[in-house]
Chains A and B, each alone.
Chain A
């Protein structure tokens, strides 16, 4: 072989080793993962999350600040923060195309943002909301700093519209004053979809490979929390 052939063979060989080791072997290992069937309860996990809000989440690039992966205890304080009860594994994402794992946490992890007991405040913090319902999410999307003063999240006001107030406030009107008298702020369909998607995120179902088959949902504390209604105006 000439010197050039060696060079070319080496270039190809190094690429082939990289592709084989980092792509093909893992594909053989986790590429064919299937649902976990809970024989006792007759349930299957995971289930396909078809909520349209996922598309809004992708479009707005939410995953550039929010992760959807919980690391094991030795890799950080994810679980102690209340973001999850077990580490996430490949099976959690088997229906996601693509999984929105994220790589930077400028905002909190949202793996289980819709799960009972999810929190982003220290366990001892008494001011935390006891429930983040759809209205909480909508207010937070409209103006994050109404709820978390130190937040650096962008407001998504363009997912809301101001409409003329009818006889009584619309069912989904935000408890925030509109810019004009006689108007109220209502979410667009996309804002509602996004809020519902966030509230659908729940990967707490136990999986054998995640080392948590005991049902260890963090106890939801019942501390009194400011309802969104408490934030009448900014």
Chain B
């Protein structure tokens, strides 16, 4: 059952393993060379991502607690709610999500294109620059230097510094693609290539446009909404799906169910996913057609929802026992299921009737958390569990710690999101009644907040376990290489 160590790359439905002739030893040696070339930068991405994840957890905790106890840390300006929340967003989206994503994307690209990273130093430089820029951004927000634009709150100089850091990563990614050894391009590579190009275009365009005096008034909010939506769909989701498309077939050792479905899923996501942004401004001071167009595009996301979802479920069919064995599959498949759920909720919530109820409530925060945490972050966790042993040369020390991480992140995250979804619906329904006291609506929905705190405590436990485990891996404290750390070894399961 050493599926993870299986040497033959399970890539496409069409590509037969026999088409690449080298012996198993040659292929293993090639993979070792590729991993060695990517080792230092990818581990640096993971390590710094984890650091930001822990900082984000801390800010998330403070922010959430302040919603129910506004007197908590009230006399510290840097911890006021309006600064903690953008700081949390920056640490989470640009720290954890982006850095983990870049590490995973570079490693996947190198492996899938069978190309070595020529200039690991460039990646290290990029990672350091990004981290430095982000550090400045978070400090800037905490001392009150946010831009005033909710979805692009990072101070502009810090944002440009991060962008320069990214360029080293993006160029490396594109270079790996150019060096690829075989002509068939695996579906994960489509998403990765998309992410590597979409992100800089999006980032550059949005930030340059915001510097133009012609972009007056509400157009700035339009650009910010477009940017935030692009970040979710063209950057995080693209990397998340790339990783899930790689990890699940690889670990369970069978090809993806249907390549045509994967292709339809990719293109429909690329086209409609880029047009859904203005549901964020539904009911707002923008032309009505813009919102209508975004709602229709949101509905069209049914196509990727069904095709991507069906592909994952069909690929897993008959292999669900792998969820009990392999940490990677458990995390990645959980993420894939949540991708389907999150997309479905986003479609439903964008419809005008539903939107007018939940639009200005915590519902929107919850759906964003669902996408970025319960889908994307879970897939990234799975990817890090898969990749790190290949870079450090030993396996994870303890299945128990991985299990603890999964319990905390999966159930804690789901609890926090579910509670916020409910509180959003409750507040929204109550808010329809103009005779309901506004403060009382919030006070009543405050009853949900302890549930969110419980979720966050679980998440914190999970992240702490993950952080410790990763540090042990960096110190090469783990199981001997060769056999992946599984939750249940196949022998044990037979006795059940």
Contacts and interface: CB of A to CB of B under 8 A. Distances in A.
Interface of A: 3-4, 7-8, 10-12, 14-15, 17-19, 21-23, 26-27, 29-31, 33, 58-65, 67, 69, 71-72, 74-77, 80-81, 87-106, 108, 120-125, 144-145, 148, 150-158
Contact of A77 (B223, B293, B432): B432
B318 interface: no
B285 A92 contact: yes
17 contacts: A15-B274, A61-B80, A61-B82, A71-B283, A75-B356, A76-B357, A77-B434, A89-B285, A91-B217, A93-B217, A98-B210, A98-B224, A99-B285, A104-B362, A108-B438, A150-B443, A158-B76
A64 B277 contact: no
Contacts of B70: 144-145, 151-155
A77 B226 contact: no
Contact of B80 (A23, A27, A60, A72): A60
Interface stretch (B141-149, B321-329, B463-471): B141-149
Contact of A26 (B190, B202, B286): B286
B495 interface: no
B300 interface: no
Contacts of B193: 7-8, 11
B226 A76 contact: no
A11 B446 CA distance: 44
Given A60-B82, A77-B434, A108-B438, A18 B230 contact: yes
Contacts of A12: 197
B451 interface: no
A154 B66 contact: yes
Interface string B94-137: 00000000000000000000000000000000000000000000
Interface string B205-241: 1000110001111111111101000100010000000
Interface of B: 66-68, 70-71, 74-77, 80-83, 85-86, 144-150, 183, 185, 190, 193-194, 197-198, 201-202, 205, 209-210, 214-224, 226, 230, 234, 267, 270-271, 274-275, 277-278, 280-287, 290, 293-294, 352, 355-357, 359-362, 364-365, 431-440, 442-443, 446
Contact of A93 (B66, B218, B271, B290): B218
A12 B442 CA distance: 44
A124 B436 CA distance: 11
B209 to A, nearest CB: 7
Contact of A27 (B86, B219, B234, B277): B219
Given A23-B226, A99-B218, A60 B83 contact: yes
A3 B440 contact: no
B209 A23 contact: yes
A87 B282 CA distance: 13
B438 A81 contact: yes
Given A60-B80, A122-B435, A153-B70, A95 B217 contact: yes
Given A23-B223, A59-B144, A76-B432, A17 B439 contact: no
A80 B434 contact: yes
Nearest to A18: B274
Majority secondary structure of chain B interface residues (helix, strand, loop or mixed): helix
B434 A22 contact: no
A204 to B, nearest CB: 14
A61 B75 CA distance: 16
A69 B284 contact: yes
Contacts of A95: 216-217
A22 B222 contact: yes
Nearest to A61: B82
A30 B434 CA distance: 31
Contacts of A102: 150, 360
Contacts of A19: 205, 226
A101 B355 CA distance: 17
Nearest to A76: B356
Contacts of A74: 356
A15 B285 contact: no
Closest 9 interchain pairs by CB?
A61-B82, A18-B274, A80-B434, A59-B144, A150-B443, A71-B283, A75-B283, A14-B270, A105-B360
B365 to A, nearest CB: 7
Nearest to A122: B435
A96 B360 CA distance: 21
Contacts of A21: 275, 293
A150 B445 CA distance: 11
Contacts of A69: 283-285
B271 A17 contact: yes
A27 B217 contact: no
A22 B226 CA distance: 7
Nearest to A106: B442
B270 A103 contact: no
Name which of B210, B283, B364 has the most chain A CB atoms within 10 A of its CB.
B283
B433 to A, nearest CB: 7
